[in-house]
Amino acid sequence: MVSDEIKYTTDHLWVKQIQTGLFRIGVTYDYLDRLAAIRLVELPKVGSAISSGDSMAVLESSKAAIELPAPFSGIVKKINADVVADPGLINRLPMTDGWLLEIGTNQPEGLANLLSEEDYQKLL
């Protein structure tokens, strides 16, 4: 069963399971407050293998260019071309239309490190 619950990483990413073994990932509001306006988004190609902790995306803002680490290993199943064309979409709607990519995984052990919203809020 797919949950509507969003999980979080210590790297300020949100993760939502959209079907069994498929997860949508984006950046939290809290992290965007630190980055300012996103100007450029670099995402991997669909079909790329990603290892846990390796860079899965780059966001460039007026303050810095940040590499976002993958929360778990998997294969890029889909990227959000809308945020590549309009990076400001991440700032405007980070938890919905501003998602970054979808990763498919069959390694559920990597998901054990995800945080509940309550635990994530304690980190802030």
pLDDT in tens, 49-84: 999 999 999 999 988 899 999 999 999 999 999 999
pLDDT band for 86, please (50, 70, 90 cuts). Answer: very high
pLDDT of residue 71: 94
| Residue 64, burial from CB neighbour count under 10 angstroms (0-12, 13-18, 19+) | exposed
Higher pLDDT, 90 or 62: 90
CATH for the 6-107 domain, from 3.40.50.10320, 3.40.50.720, 2.40.50.100, 3.40.50.150: 2.40.50.100
What is the mean predicted confidence (pLDDT) over 25-36? 89
Is the distance from CB of 22 to CB of 3 less than 8 angstroms? no
Select from 101, 10, 104, 98 the least CA-distant residue to 49.
104
Q: Is the pLDDT of residue 93 over 80?
A: yes
- Give the start-to-end residue ranges of the domains of the chain: 6-107
pLDDT of residue 98: 97
Higher pLDDT, 100 or 107: 100
Average pLDDT over all residues of the chain: 92
Full-model pTM: 0.92
Q: Is the pLDDT of residue 110 over 80?
A: no
